[in-house]
Amino acid sequence: MTPLSSKSSATGPRNVGPPRRRIAPRLIVRVGVLRALANRNYRIYAEGNAISMVGTWVQRVAVGWLTWELTGSTMWLGLIAFAELLPTVIIGPFAGVVADRFNRLRLFKISQILAMTQSALLFALTATNLITIELLFALTLYLGAVYGFAQPVRLSLIPSLVRRADMHAAIACNSLLFNLARFLGPILAGLVIVAWGIAPAFLINMTTYCAVLYAAALLRPQEDRIDRSQFSGMLVGIQDGITYAFHNPAIRTTLILFACTAAFGRPFAELLPGFAADVFERGALGLAWLTSSVGFGAVLAAIYLSQRRNTDGLRQLVVLNTGLFGFALIALVSTKWFWLAIPSVALAGFAMVVCAVGAQSLIQDAVDSAMRGRVLSLYGLVFRAGVALGSLIVGALAADFGLPWPIGAAALACVAAALIARTTIRNS
């Protein structure tokens, strides 16, 4: 069966129910992420999204390397990361309200078309040598706005594609596919950039959006039973979401801990071009090695998490990996040997995904369906705004003090957050 062309995909049942045995044998349904893939709608979504995410990571590496070629500045690396992530702070909460009020599948399709447009512009400008750092910054701001709109929509859509019993497997599966793309995309990007230059990398990403748009056309998600007639104004809707999240102890503590890893831990990934070029002197292929190693560790984490059927003990696991994240980054900045940095960033990738996917699973498990879009927009805001601010601050400090010291200080903050959270959980 080819990924997106099965006859059953176009004519399958509208409701998400037990799969036919010929599509997903009972043995397969019991195995980790394959339980999620046994759901017809989620399987189609995952196939299209997996292809698109490889293209996304090809472009991410290309943007980082293009930034370095244009400026040679860690400050600009931080600014470009900031430009992609900052719009979430403004758009994300509004997008969460929109996701709760309108058809999520239709919104998802619109977001993918808008992102595809950005890749097309990047390809055209780079191929004609018209690209400048200012244009790259502006286009990255635009993409950040699209992502700020798309993330709560996508996260809210996924539960309607699977049975509730398979929701945690679907979250882990989504992370697994994302991080497989994080592993494969940079390798492809490195080969493409070395062989043909940066512009073809943007063309690859533009092309892969066709797969996810085709998949979206085949989806038949379950409709949420939400009384949309009761919705108030946009700002009141945002306020309701924030109030709901911070009056729910499970959601509140999860968001606060996740904010620490987002702001202090995750920015290292945005600054890997600086490590590859300045610290290890390995160029574009070195960047591909480092980024793919982060992806390898992340894939292992997603596979591990996919075996969990519920959230029992998950909060403690997130706390443990917050500390592990910090120690992995300390190991990274303590060496100048490239091949020792590889396992360090792989371990960081593992811990990073356990924290992110664990936090999302805890929130999805605790939130009411009518509030899902708004609460998940807060998760997206923490995820992107934390990385944006962290990348900007660490990038600026690295321009004056070098990369190791600012990232080392951020790593210690992760360790401290883990110790505080561990004590808080024990005393609660």
- CATH code, 219: 1.20.1250.20
How many other β-carbons are positioned within 10 Å of the β-carbon of residue 413?
Answer: 17
Instruction: Please give the pLDDT value at position 386.
Output: 83
The Cα–Cα gap between 59 and 181 comes to: 11
> Of the candidates 83, 100, 182, which has an alpha carbon nearest to the alpha carbon of residue 137?
83
Whether 2 maps to a domain, the answer reads: no
How buried is residue 249: exposed, middle or buried, by Cβ count under 10 Å (0-12/13-18/19+)? exposed
pLDDT at 221 over 60: yes
Whether 60 maps to a domain, the answer reads: yes
Q: Which of 9-18, 102-111, 248-257 has the lowest mean pLDDT?
A: 9-18
Whether 95 maps to a domain, the answer reads: yes
Query: How much is the average pLDDT of 115-134?
Result: 96
Query: How much is the average pLDDT of 320-349?
Result: 94
The Cα–Cα gap between 276 and 129 comes to: 24
> Of the candidates 355, 264, 256, which has an alpha carbon nearest to the alpha carbon of residue 302?
355
Whether 10 maps to a domain, the answer reads: no
Whether 1 maps to a domain, the answer reads: no
Please report the DSSP string for 150-209 in residue order: HHHHHHHHGGGGS-GGGHHHHHHHHHHHHHHHHHHHHHHHHHHHHHH-SHHHHHHHHHHH
Whether 304 maps to a domain, the answer reads: yes
Q: How many helices (H) and strands (E) does the chain have?
A: 19, 0
pLDDT at 173 over 60: yes
Residue % of the chain over a pLDDT of 70: 89
Sign, CA dihedral 222-225-228-233, equals negative
The pTM score is 0.70
**Total domain count for the chain?**
1
Q: Residue 160: pLDDT band by 50, 70, 90 thresholds?
A: confident
> Of the candidates 392, 403, 410, 411, which has an alpha carbon nearest to the alpha carbon of residue 275?
403
Residue with tokens 């085949």: 218
Whether 120 maps to a domain, the answer reads: yes
Instruction: Please give the pLDDT value at position 27.
Output: 43
Residue 310 is part of which domain span? 25-223+233-427
Whether 14 maps to a domain, the answer reads: no
pLDDT at 105 over 80: yes
